[in-house]
Amino acid sequence: MLAANYSTVRSKFKNYCDQVCDEDETLIVTRKEERNVVMISLEKYNQMEKALRNARYLAKLLRADEQIKSGDVVIKTIEELEKMAE
Tally of CA atoms within 13 A in the half-sphere of 73 that contains its CB: 11
1-40: which CATH architecture? 3-Layer(aba) Sandwich (3.40)
Is 0.75 topped by the overall pTM?
no
Residue ranges per domain, the chain? 1-40, 42-86
Contact predicate 28/1, CB 8 Å: yes
| pLDDT, tens only, 24-60 | 999 999 999 999 999 999 999 999 999 999 999 999 9
Contact predicate 22/14, CB 8 Å: no
3-state secondary structure of 78: helix
| pLDDT, tens only, 60-80 | 999 999 999 999 888 899 999
Contact predicate 31/25, CB 8 Å: no
Taking the C-alpha atoms of residue 45 and residue 57, their distance in angstroms, rounded to an integer, is 18
The predicted pLDDT at position 12 comes to 97
The predicted pLDDT at position 2 comes to 95
